[in-house]
Amino acid sequence: MHKVTFKGDDLTVEAETGANLRDVAQIEGASIPFGCEQGICGTCLITPIEGADNLSDIDDVEKDTLEAMGSDDGQRLACQCAVEGDVIVEGFL
Ligand code: FES
């Protein structure tokens, strides 16, 4: 199990390897908003504060959306991230 911390919510929970960060956020009540849940709308933009390497690699859909949004380096879409280790993330409400 890995520790996932949602910084804005001051919430730390446990997640299995491969758990979708969207599922973890929704089940545990984190305040990251979601829309399409398919990596297209950009609603679930997050910044990994620690453990960015412990999230799954960016696929083409997520990459295209992040580029179209003009996101900062390192930002991710929570609905497209699988948990692969301990991570601290911050969302934007
Ligand atoms: S919910 Fe639309 S990109 Fe994640």
Q: Domains of the chain: which residue ranges?
A: 2-91
Look up the CATH superfamily of 2-91: Beta-grasp domain (3.10.20.30)
The CA 3 to ligand 1 mean position distance, Å, reads 22
Give this prediction's pTM. 0.94
Phi, psi (degrees; rounded to nearest 5) at 89? -125, 155
The CA 5 to ligand 1 mean position distance, Å, reads 19
Question: DSSP states of 37-92 as a string?
Answer: SSSSS-TTEEEEEE-GGGBPPP-HHHHHHHHHHTPPTT-EEGGGPBB-S-EEEEE-
Per-residue pLDDT of 47-71, as tens digits, reads 999 999 999 999 999 999 999 999 9
Burial (Cβ within 10 Å: 0-12, 13-18, ≥19) of residue 63 = middle
Per-residue pLDDT of 76-89, as tens digits, reads 999 999 999 999 99
Tell which atom from ligand 1 comes closest to the C-alpha of 36: 2
